[in-house]
Each structure stands twice: as C-alpha cells, then as structure tokens.
A and B are shown apart, each in its own frame.
Chain A
C-alpha cells in the first residue's frame, strides 16, 4: 500500500509508483456514472443481473440500465488513496518504519482495460407477465386450502432474480398487472375469475342495497366467503376495481353507537364498474350499433352510475358505415409494447388515424429518452389538409 496520493503531488516533488500487493488478482471494474445515481450506489451498492441469454443489466432501486463496456487501448492503472494510518496524503510525515525507507510511494491496485457505461433502458414487463401466467390463480385455486407444488410459483426474490428489473420497476410491473401476493407468491388472477368475483360483488351490492361508494369490507367479504371465495381474492378485487376511502365516520359507527375501527370501506371506481358491464356486452356480440350499445349498457348499470363512451377509449374503435356508427373491441392491452411493432399493428388496423382516436393507443408507450412527439415523428407521417380539420396520421 502506498503512502502518498498521486493527486496531491506538490510541484517539484516526486514519488515512486509500485505494483500493489494484490495486483493481477483483483477483479475491479470502473463504472462511469451520473451524479444522481452516484450517491445511491455508494449507499446501497449495485447489482448486475443477467443470465447466459440475457444481456447484463445494472439495477439500482429505481431504474434498469444496459451495460456497455468501452474498451481502451491505453494502460489504465487504478490508484487507491494511501492507507489512512501512517503518513499523510502529501507524504510529508513519512513512516520511518515503511519498507520504502522513507520515500513517497503510490501503488497501483489493478489495471483496467476500459470502463463500463450505463444506458438507460425501458423496463420490459412481458417476461414478468409470462412468468406469472404459468400458474394463474383461478377458480380451482381458491377452493384449495394449500397448494401442493410450488413449481411455477414465484416469490418477490425469485422474480428479481429472474427478471432484469429494478425493485421499483418490479413493483410497478406487478401493480400494472394487478398481481396479488398469496402465501408469499405473486400471482396473476385469471381474468374470467376476477370478472366473476367482481360481478358477485356488484350483485350483492344491488341485493343488499349497498352503496358502491361505501362498501364495507367486512360485509362484502363475508357475503362472498359464504359462496366459497377467499377473503384475499375479494379484497384484491376491491383494490383492483376501487380504492379504500378514508374511514367515514358514518360507516364506522355501529348501530349501538360504538366506533368500529375494523371497518375498512371501499369505493368502487365508476369507470371500472362501467367497463365491467361494457365487457359483458362486447363478449356477447362483437359488433354493435353505437346507439344500441349505449342503451343496453346504461340499462345494465347499477343506479346512479353514469356511462360514457369516453370510458372505452383504448378499448373500442368506432367506424361509420353509411349513416350508422358501429363499434367493435380493439384493446390497447392486446397490442405489442414495443413502439415499432405497436405502430405497425395500429396501421394494419387502420391506415389513417385522427389524433383523438390514436392517442389512447400510444399514450402508454415507453422508449427511453423519447417523448410521444418523438415517437410520432419517427413512426408516422402527419398531414393536415386545412387548419380547421384535425391532423391525420399515416404510416411512415
């Protein structure tokens, strides 16, 4: 270990540079960083993930970066600061017991052949979705008490291990997929099953005259448990299609006037309720005259809930055939998440798009460093016949 720092060499002085004791056996890497992630890496270290088939990525708690190695033809010696005990960095107080006999020295711990650079990448949730789809949580699962085999089931740690996502991204992915943690494993609930549970909640609400803005968790859970549904799934359903409201005093006070602290109250999201019934209609017939659809839709909804076609943006497309308007399902959730593929799919469906129709099908696209405008510029051609008519987008 050297006793001086090469950075603090004074004018008209010199030092000897030595190979360090562990030179050649140290595996050190140089990583170029931006100031923002510098502190995080210092505090928490960093993890590099990547199997044989994936490219290596570096994950901080919030973001994922692809790693690029930039080779250098130079000889780069990595010089640690002098050991903290003994002489000062400038070498003025010399350690007379040192082997160098009082000379100023610096030692190289390793030589680098280049450095690592980080390139921010957009998280890919496709693999997460496919892993969690291996064993969907469905009707069969709920009726079993304990699942026997754990193959195809993944815990949080398993998912971090297998996926190239940072913790925050994994959290985001799980939330976007409406995954639920059951028995320590993250599960995707079978869509049909979720709709089934939701339908039952709505039916019970109608039957018992419960307000959809103030559903009492205890009541909902006990009603559905009587039909064989697990509390966890019922609560997951409430959380997916609504949100917890802050404890309303009216809801919390029991009939004898005492304050019921256990009473969690949920408010169902009006849009989700409307979508639920819209989906039912679309499953029964895939093409509807718009007027017929709106009538049937409103009729099926619980009282007090107002539907509007705007709620179906990104889920249906409307086309004019003669004097009639027809709608059919076209969901953004079924489209590729990769921008190039997404635009290709959209233009296959329709060669020309108005902005109002196009927007819901591209607003979720993520490309690192690219705004929606940049993506539009890259993949579409914009024309605007006159200043009054809306712009039209076609394939580039």
Chain B
C-alpha cells in the first residue's frame, strides 16, 4: 500500500506563543520562515531568532502512526437498559495503529540560534 514521504523539522528548545497572541487559534500565524541558502544550508527564522541547520538522512526510517478510530463506547449512564451477565466483560486493551507516512529525512537545527536584532 502507498504511504507518502513526510518529514521532520527538529530544533532545540521549546516553541512558545507570545502572550499577546495566545487568544488566537494556533493556525492563525506562522511558526517561522524556512529557507535554503546553499545546497546544504537551511535557515529557520522564528521570531527574532535565526537557526542554521541541514537536511539529514535518518539512520533508520520512521513511520508516522495514527490510531485507528473505533466507535466510541456507549455512554453507560444514558442507556436505560443494561445487560447483567455472569461472563466477565473485557476492557479493550489493544490499540490499532495505521502507518500514515514514512520519514527518511529531517531538517535538523542544532547550532546556537543567532539573535536578529536590528540596531
């Protein structure tokens, strides 16, 4: 079966939403700007920081797994009729996952960020 190639964007540190923007829906604004200058150099500008990185091949491929949705269990309290049984009912303890993408490369930023502050 077909599975398209996804990618990872990996950087050190944590992304934070500025207090002034916290009331907005997440996808209202961009995280940052990704650009490629030379063959091997990538830059990621987030806020006033600029990160330098490169494209890396993963030593082992990774799969992106998503849980297969099952119908939600019926809300016990809302059901007027309940079956009383001597047989123990079993809680589902397995999760089925489906691969929705393959990852073989990532763009990795691991150098110290450069602060872009205009003077």
Residues of chain A touching chain B, judged by Cβ–Cβ distance below 8 Å, are: 5-7, 9-21, 23-24, 26-35, 38, 41-43, 45-52, 72-81, 105-108, 111-112, 115, 150-151, 161
Q: In the bound complex, do residue A79 and residue B9 qualify as a contact, i.e. CB atoms below 8 Å apart?
A: yes
| Least CB separation from B64: chain A residue | A28
Q: In the bound complex, do residue B5 and residue A28 qualify as a contact, i.e. CB atoms below 8 Å apart?
A: no
Tell me how far the C-beta of A90 lies from the nearest C-beta in chain B, rounded to whole angstroms.
Answer: 12
Among candidates B3, B15, B44, B95, residue contacting A47 with C-beta atoms closer than 8 Å: B95
| Least CB separation from A76: chain B residue | B10
- Which residues of chain A are near B62, meaning CB under 8 Å? 30-33, 115
Known: A52-B93, A79-B7, A161-B94. 12 other contacts (CB 8 A): A7-B5, A13-B35, A17-B9, A23-B27, A28-B65, A29-B64, A48-B95, A77-B9, A81-B4, A81-B6, A81-B7, A112-B8
Q: In the bound complex, do residue B99 and residue A46 qualify as a contact, i.e. CB atoms below 8 Å apart?
A: yes
Among candidates A10, A13, A26, A108, residue contacting B31 with C-beta atoms closer than 8 Å: A108
Tell me how far the C-beta of B7 lies from the nearest C-beta in chain A, rounded to whole angstroms.
Answer: 5
- Which residues of chain B are near A34, meaning CB under 8 Å? 60
Q: In the bound complex, do residue B33 and residue A17 qualify as a contact, i.e. CB atoms below 8 Å apart?
A: yes
- Which residues of chain B are near A105, meaning CB under 8 Å? 30
Assembled-state Cα–Cα distance A267/B52 (Å): 73
- Given the interface pairs A33-B61, A81-B4, the reply to whether A16 lies near B103 with Cβ below 8 Å is no
Q: In the bound complex, do residue A14 and residue B60 qualify as a contact, i.e. CB atoms below 8 Å apart?
A: no
Assembled-state Cα–Cα distance A107/B15 (Å): 15
Q: In the bound complex, do residue B27 and residue A79 qualify as a contact, i.e. CB atoms below 8 Å apart?
A: no
Q: In the bound complex, do residue A11 and residue B101 qualify as a contact, i.e. CB atoms below 8 Å apart?
A: no
Closest 8 A/B residue pairs (Cβ): A14-B35, A77-B9, A19-B26, A16-B30, A29-B65, A51-B93, A79-B7, A9-B36
Q: In the bound complex, do residue B33 and residue A16 qualify as a contact, i.e. CB atoms below 8 Å apart?
A: yes
- Given the interface pairs A5-B7, A46-B65, A73-B12, the reply to whether A24 lies near B34 with Cβ below 8 Å is no
Q: In the bound complex, do residue B35 and residue A9 qualify as a contact, i.e. CB atoms below 8 Å apart?
A: yes
- The interface bits of chain B over 56-93 (1 if a CB of A lies within 8 angstroms of the residue's CB, else 0) are 00101111111110000000000000000011101001
| Least CB separation from B106: chain A residue | A76
- Given the interface pairs A11-B38, A14-B33, A47-B96, the reply to whether A79 lies near B6 with Cβ below 8 Å is yes
B22 beta carbon closer than 8 Å to chain A: no
- Given the interface pairs A42-B3, A43-B1, the reply to whether A14 lies near B64 with Cβ below 8 Å is no
Assembled-state Cα–Cα distance A7/B4 (Å): 13
Q: In the bound complex, do residue A107 and residue B27 qualify as a contact, i.e. CB atoms below 8 Å apart?
A: yes
Q: In the bound complex, do residue B36 and residue A48 qualify as a contact, i.e. CB atoms below 8 Å apart?
A: no
| Least CB separation from B68: chain A residue | A45
- Which residues of chain B are near A52, meaning CB under 8 Å? 93
| Least CB separation from A14: chain B residue | B35
B19 beta carbon closer than 8 Å to chain A: no
Could you list 10 A-B pairs, sorted by A, with CB under 8 Å?
A11-B37, A11-B39, A13-B35, A31-B63, A47-B97, A50-B94, A78-B6, A78-B8, A78-B64, A80-B6
- Which residues of chain A are near B93, meaning CB under 8 Å? 49-52, 161
Assembled-state Cα–Cα distance A73/B55 (Å): 19
- Which residues of chain A are near B103, meaning CB under 8 Å? 30
B49 beta carbon closer than 8 Å to chain A: no
| Least CB separation from A99: chain B residue | B27
Q: In the bound complex, do residue A47 and residue B36 qualify as a contact, i.e. CB atoms below 8 Å apart?
A: no
Assembled-state Cα–Cα distance A27/B100 (Å): 12
- Which residues of chain B are near A48, meaning CB under 8 Å? 94-97
Assembled-state Cα–Cα distance A268/B11 (Å): 67
- Given the interface pairs A18-B30, A34-B60, A42-B3, the reply to whether A76 lies near B102 with Cβ below 8 Å is no
